[in-house]
Chain A
Amino acid sequence: MILERLFFILFAVVAIAAAGGVVCFKNPVHSAFSLIVCLLQVAAIFVLLRSPFLAVVQIFIYVGAVMVLFLFVVLVLDIKKASLETFPGLKRWPVYVILPVMAIEFLIVIFGKSFAHMQMAEAGAETTVEVIGLALFTHYLLPFEIISVLLLAAMVGAIIMAKKRWN
């Protein structure tokens, strides 16, 4: 158990550091790679939480597909210009007010015994892919099939939006 906790701390610290890197790096490509590191750590945390399927989803969708999209966007945009430009003269003080408030709020939620009454999953029990598959294809069948229509609509939308520009 102690080892598991140590690994959690390792992954969490690296994830937060990488997330900080995403914001701080000037070069968007560096930010994107930092994001990959962050997402990989989150995938590792999912493994620690005994849901390997979510870890696979994380790597498959985010590290795989979404990062490709990010990098293509970086290509399509003008990198040099985008990296030089800072945000227009926005007032930054609201950020410094809102962020601590939100942080305190979430800490209260987490340590306020919000989840105390909940039945914890059995220690070491794994949410296997079978369990997810069974739920997906029986109880959650309707949302699953709607997702296919949703993906189709998104595909049509993406093609329409970009159409004239490359015709």
Chain B
Amino acid sequence: MIFSLLDVLALLPELILVAVACILLVLDPLIKKCSGLAGVISVVTIIAAAIATYCIASGDLAGGSFFADMHKIDLYSVFFKMIFYVATVLVMLMSFQYVKTKDINMSEYYILMLFSLTGMMILASAVDLLTIYVGLELMSIPVYVLAGFKQSSRKSNEGAMKYIILGAFSSGILLYGISFIYGLTGTTDLAGIAVALKDPVTSVPALSIAIVMLVAGFAFKIAGVPFHMWAPDAYEGAPTPITAFMSVGVKAASFAVMVRVFMVGLEPLYDQWVIILIVISVLSMGYGNLVAISQKSIKRMLAYSSIAHAGYALLGLIAGTAEGVSSVLFYMAVYAVMNIGAFAIIILLSVNGRIDQLDSYRGLGKTNKLVALLMMILLFSLAGIPPMAGFMGKFYVFKALLSQGMVPLAIFAVLMSSVAAYFYIRVIMVMYMKEPDGEFKMFKPACLYFVILLTVVVTIWHGVYPTLLIDLARLASSII
């Protein structure tokens, strides 16, 4: 039971992040003058942590579990950690200009993101319900604060308030579910739970309640209907880079842990939880896509679209096979990139003084040809139109679903994505078919532009040539 230095070494990436965050906190009064510094240091730290993760994953520690089987280093966790690193670095890069224009330029902005990232990484590696709960809280609490970072904005405050209250409520429900599971199986370890659940004496009504509670808790984090109420307001009110962070990072981390809990721990109860997940998935796809149609604000539209995307990604988990899990991984990676790209373009317009409304995009195709083209590619990808990566994401999910014979569900999902195409293409219509208000000279910060170009290149690359990523995803999901 005594720990060795190996345990500490396995936790190195997380330790790097926490250590740098602590140093930045202590030095905060000193570096207040040059607050961009904290952002640069954070980006460098995350890259260092990514290198550390890579070294650990390719070294002897790979495949082991540490801290008394609480922390697992396998390809699955490394795959998700890489998504988190990329997402967080991109979000930080697109924040540099934004925080200056919105007057929220504080080093805590980056520090809280580092803390949240640490929570996500712990979640990706967690194989114990207790670690999962603590990791979820560590991920969420900084995001609650970040969502309300624009103190002078009523919308930001309102969104953050809803997010905090509903978030606390949902983690209470999740904890209640966890305590039921612990009470019925006598362990919090996922593998141990699976063993205990295979025993028929444990199939009692309390277990169904526990499953409902776990699903509700996780569905809140991924913003699945009917646990989505906070999402549109929180997404709209939060600073735009944080919206991207919430819709990408938090969602991917929640999927990482959800897949592990359901496919490893609750695997013997597949028949029970799959019904609830199907309901949530169908509602999310239907509601998210239909309500997105009527939105005037692009951020709000993307909020509803992110609800719908959660529904699509859930389909992979519903399939309940290794193929399904790999499609979830692929979907999350692709969704992270294309969604961040779309938000980066919203930020680009916002730092140029355009408000976040559909009308701001009028005639963008005539005044700023390149930006409009990039936005069109990203929106096509979100809509799932080939040859963009978003199409491949949906393709693999549907394939996993069909190979399990769930044809009606797949048909519904395809129908809903054609509804989705309508509101994405409407933005493109506004960009190309409407006349511009006048000349619009855009100021393009280098970091932001880099993010947009990178996401577009990756989106096209994985759309045309998805083999690399899907092979990695298959490798990562083979252990589940």
Contact = CB atoms under 8 A, between A and B. Distances in A.
Given A142-B67, A143-B70, A157-B145, A109 B112 contact: no
A150 B141 contact: yes
B71 A142 contact: yes
A156 B115 CA distance: 10
Interface string B130-146: 11011101100110110
B314 interface: no
B30 interface: no
B183 A140 contact: no
A134 B448 CA distance: 50
A141 interface: yes
A161 B149 CA distance: 7
B134 A118 contact: no
A3 interface: no
A105 B208 CA distance: 11
A153 to B, nearest CB: 4
Interface in A136-167: 138-143, 146-147, 149-150, 152-154, 156-157, 160-161, 163-165
Nearest to B200: A117
Contact of B141 (A108, A117, A157): A157
B101 interface: no
A153 B142 contact: yes
A113 interface: yes
A114 B184 contact: yes
A153 B140 CA distance: 10
B205 A150 contact: no
Given A150-B141, A164-B151, A143 B131 contact: yes
A8 to B, nearest CB: 19
A147 B206 contact: no
A141 B2 CA distance: 11
B108 A149 contact: no
A117 B201 CA distance: 7
A99 to B, nearest CB: 16
B68 A139 contact: yes
Contacts of B191: none
A146 B148 CA distance: 24
B71 A149 contact: no
Contacts of A138: 1-2, 68
Given A115-B184, A117-B201, A153 B206 contact: no
A105 B144 CA distance: 33
Interface in A96-150: 105, 108-109, 112-119, 138-143, 146-147, 149-150
A30 to B, nearest CB: 24
Contacts of A165: 151
A115 B27 CA distance: 53
A103 to B, nearest CB: 13
Contact of A156 (B18, B25, B209): B25
Given A109-B209, A115-B184, A139-B68, A157 B144 contact: yes
Interface string A42-75: 0000000000000000000000000000000000
A166 B137 CA distance: 27
Given A112-B204, A141-B3, A146-B134, A118 B183 contact: yes
Pick from A138, A142, A143 the residue with the most CB of B within 10 Å.
A142
Contacts of A147: 134
Given A114-B205, A115-B184, A141-B68, A154 B134 contact: no
Interface in B185-203: 186, 201-202
Interface string B342-358: 00000000000000000
A9 B179 CA distance: 24
Contacts of B67: 141-142
Contacts of B211: none
B183 A157 contact: no
Contacts of A149: 18, 115, 118, 138
Contacts of A150: 119, 134, 137-138, 141
Nearest to B202: A117
Given A109-B206, A146-B134, A160 B108 contact: yes
A105 B209 contact: yes
A148 to B, nearest CB: 9
B122 interface: yes
B111 interface: yes
B142 A146 contact: no
Pick from A141, A150, A154, A163 the residue with the most CB of B within 10 Å.
A150
A115 B70 CA distance: 26
B186 A118 contact: yes
Given A105-B209, A115-B184, A142-B11, 15 more contacts: A109-B205, A114-B204, A118-B183, A140-B70, A142-B71, A143-B130, A146-B131, A149-B138, A150-B134, A153-B116, A156-B25, A157-B141, A161-B148, A161-B151, A165-B151
Interface of B: 1-3, 11, 18, 22, 25, 66-68, 70-71, 106, 108, 111-112, 115-116, 118-119, 122, 128, 130-131, 133-135, 137-138, 141-142, 144-145, 148-149, 151, 183-184, 186, 201-202, 204-207, 209
9 contacts: A118-B183, A141-B70, A142-B71, A143-B130, A143-B131, A147-B134, A150-B137, A153-B116, A156-B111
Interface of A: 105, 108-109, 112-119, 138-143, 146-147, 149-150, 152-154, 156-157, 160-161, 163-165
Closest 4 A/B residue pairs (Cβ) = A114-B206, A157-B145, A142-B67, A153-B115
